[in-house]
Structure 1
């Protein structure tokens, strides 16, 4: 997980959280969160990078649409990241 960009980590979290994680649904989530349009030229190359790193899988749902899902490795890496973050966020100095 440490070799990913913040955007790529966010992609993993969005794919994990959507019921139907296809490109347009992912884009809609990012547009809402980032409050600006996420261009296809940014989204799909980063999804391809996650595919190459074996963190997501892609399957065709029709001729124009692909759906994405996390691999077991991605789930383990997200859990490890959450544990690492919680080690800092549970500190009384940060969260009363």
Structure 2
């Protein structure tokens, strides 16, 4: 009985999906997607982000911050390309720490 074929050994598998192909591209399972992270920045410490949610898609053009204001907080939204919503949130935290 022949050994099972792996994705790297299958002749019909595109090189971009094979991590062993050495293309430097991510496998399809790790494809990047744009996420919009929405949250609040603390006015006393603007590098501190409180995330309210992460939505799939580029939505910052559709996002409108309300004219009312939360005491000590600034509303915030930004887009990040990431393999998951959790990864986008992690990128948002890092981005705000570097401001």
TM-score normalised by L of structure 2:
0.20
TM-score between the two structures when normalised by the length of structure 1 = 0.21
Higher strand share: 2
Q: Judging by fraction of residues, say which structure has more helix.
A: 1
